[in-house]
Amino acid sequence: MSRLLAIGGRPRPPAGVAAGAPRTEGRVACSVVDGLEHPARLTVGVVGAGRVGAVLGAALGRAGHRVTGASAVSEASRERAAALLPGVPVADVPTVVAGAELVLLAVPDDALPGLVAGLSSTGAWQAGQIVLHTSGRHGTAVLDPVRAHHALPLALHPAMTFTGTPMDLDRLAECAFGVTADEPLRPVAEALVLEMGGSPVWVAEVDRVAYHCGLAHGANHLVTLTAEALQVLARAGVAEPRALLGPLMHAALDNALRMGDAALTGPVARGDAGTVRDHLRELDRLAPEIRRTYVALARATALRALDDGRLRPDDAAALLDILADQER
């Protein structure tokens, strides 16, 4: 059973822990489970000292846990480990796992299943060991192989972009974590998030891919949209595209987050089909590679405005006809 199941500040202890188990406010407390006493603070092994792994390892260290090892393959990750995890030995993955009560797996989504299965096949996991991954796409099902070794799977995804520098540690205070865990382990997962400075947001296993899709669609595709807008402005001769676009985009994003579809402005929302046609002509001249993105987003915008009642059906029809012509 878990060495880590009495959580300070939670309204109830999880299954298997007596109500009188010792607690300490704001951190994981010592517990006695199956007759064994385990320390409140954990030894932590970081598998993948990339931008996310190194920062979260440092955050756990700052919370009082002891990082005992980190795996780092590239020169950049070794330098990052030295900067964020000073004094922590860099070792191979089996060594890192063997020395940790909490294993933090911070590897790419597609690499995670193979890594977990490979370590399971060698018997690397230990009973009572917490195995935590940071993937947004995956819930705890990807960690099912660790269950055979009586290890405890958690999925904690930090919903922020990382620079891999110490500045990220302070930014964790504004970071929500997508949390997926077995119900008895939910308090453990949420306590770890709080210790790192973040806010836990529960995501059911069945909803994990949709959760990640929403974040990626909003944050990742925004980067592409911004880059394309800057490209058009630069080709139009604007001397400082970022200075021109920045305030507008900040305001648009803030309004969209506060108001949803009601924040929509611009030619599509007004039904200005002629303006949209002119935009497409200029894109043909200046940036034809961006035209397809513009058409797709203009179509999606028109349909949302129509559904929301902000665009009249006849205006929407004119816009959609123009956009359909551009796709032929």
Express each pLDDT in 84-112 by its tens digit: 999 999 999 999 999 999 999 999 999 99
CA distance 57 to 319: 51
Spans of the chain below 70 pLDDT: 1-40, 327-328
Q: Alpha-carbon dihedral of residues 234, 239, 240, 244, nearest 10 degrees?
A: -80
Burial 263-292 (b: 16+ CB within 10 A, else e): ebeebbbebbbeebbebbeebeebbeebbe
What's the pLDDT at 115? 98
Check residue 323 and give its pLDDT: 92
Q: What is the pTM of this model?
A: 0.83
- What is the token pair recorded at 141? 């099902």
Let me know if 240 is exposed, middle or buried by CB neighbors in 10 A (0-12, 13-18, 19+): exposed
Cα separation of 279 and 88, whole Å? 55
Strand, coil or helix: 276: helix
Closest CA to 196 of 11, 64, 15: 64
Cα separation, 6 vs 40, whole angstroms: 9
d(CA 199, CA 53): 18
151 vs 2: CA distance, rounded Å: 8
> 261: which DSSP letter?
G
3-state SS string for 94-117 = HHHHHCCCEEEECCCHHHHHHHHH
- CA within 13 Å, CB half, 121: 6
Domains of the chain, first to last: 6-203 (3.40.50.720), 210-327 (1.10.1040)
- The Cβ of residue 3 has, within 10 Å, a number of other Cβ atoms equal to 23
Q: What is the pLDDT of residue 5?
A: 41
3-state secondary structure of 238: coil
